Chain A
Amino acid sequence: NAGVMQNPRHLVRRRGQEARLRCSPMKGHSHVYWYRQLPEEGLKFMVYLQKENIIDESGMPKERFSAEFPKEGPSILRIQQVVRGDSAAYFCASSEYNEQFFGPGTRLTVL
């Protein structure tokens, strides 16, 4: 019973490039969440999605960031024109009801 899967685990981008982070939820889970953790800080909510729907994007920066959870395939967090401040660990979580189960994260480094 595979847990939440994220890839890539590490991603290096130069300023101005695009970053695409993927998340496959646990089997049977229909809710996906993305969180970001900056160094020495807690996790900050970004977006909550169900299949083909964004339910809550109150934590997403207004520009350059987007997320989707298509009918088929993983959820994608997309960051366009990355800047150094985007360097962080990005965690995906999935749930069926209460408890959210987290993936191992993608560590994005922007040079």
Chain B
Amino acid sequence: AQKVTQAQTEISVVEKEDVTLDCVYETRDTTYYLFWYKQPPSGELVFLIRRNSFDEQNEISGRYSWNFQKSTSSFNFTITASQVVDSAVYFCALSEFTDYKLSFGAGTTVTVRA
């Protein structure tokens, strides 16, 4: 069964627009970890954030913010005032206490047009 679902395949926005990427996960573990990675066309997977299941505080880092809601099993990611350099594929991933291997979502391709 798919553990991480990123329903949006592609999102296209104009520069300075906000964009929100959805991530829904499924696990029976009470301890688990959620991640977001960015993959620009160069190929490298860049780590953005790690969140454990006991910390539901939202987080902001510059133009990036994350909204973790255990009640809906969601860990959404928002880019505020998008820029062309934000164009990339973004992956949400889950690591469970009983299975530490990363389970990736299918990824969302974000294209920011100038």
> Are A and B a genuine interacting pair, yes or no?
no
Residues in chain A within 8 A of chain B (CB atoms): none
